[in-house]
Amino acid sequence: PTRRSSDLIERSAAASPEAGQGRRLVLLDGVEDPQNVGAIARVAESAGCVGLILTDRRAPPLTAAVSRASAGAIEWLPVARVTNLVRTLEALKAARFWVLAAALEESQSLFALPDRILTGDLAVVLGAEGKGIRPSVLEQADHRIGIPMRGRVASLNVSTAGAVILYELLRRAEGAVGPGSAGR
């Protein structure tokens, strides 16, 4: 079931992150394909994110197709729908979340971001394929991140990009804990 964004923000602020890790939320801006939303939900849940935020418009309903694509993760991952993504990001920033936006242009390599940023509470914004993140939403980002591309293809599918980003955040957070941490 979907929740109000304020409930999800409050729950994520109250959630206890694993040692050395901050809380992670994923926000989708205009991702309309149910397969992509499901795949992102699957990755977000498996990477330990505390929730997924979708917009009321430009996001599919949480149907059986989304559930299948998520391999059932959508049943475990809290989901909220919001009318205004910019206001939601402002509320997250007020709750001390850093906002990372995946952007092709004007971005810093995900792999070059300082650890101090990546170990706090993070709101990760992913945009629609083709259009990317809307400018008004992108303006809210504390950091614009990109995934270095070496081949001739200019970008990754949004769910693949989400997987790379979320697992790099998880890898870096676990590395910050030190030897002997869980999952190592």
**Other beta carbons within 10 Å of 180:** 6
pTM: 0.87
pLDDT one-digit tens code per residue, 1-57: 555 556 666 665 555 555 446 899 999 999 999 999 999 999 999 999 999 999 998
pLDDT score, position 14: 58
Length of the chain: 184
Please compute the mean of the pLDDT values over residues 112-134 and round it to a whole number: 89
Which residues 6+ apart lie within 8 Å of 139 measured at CB?
86
Amino acid in the structure at residue 138: L
pLDDT one-digit tens code per residue, 81-92: 999 999 999 999
Mean pLDDT of the chain: 86
Which residues 6+ apart lie within 8 Å of 105 measured at CB?
none
Give the tokens for residue 86.
Answer: 């910019």
State the number of CA atoms in the 13 A half-sphere of 137 facing the CB: 23
Contact 55, 29 (CB under 8 A): yes
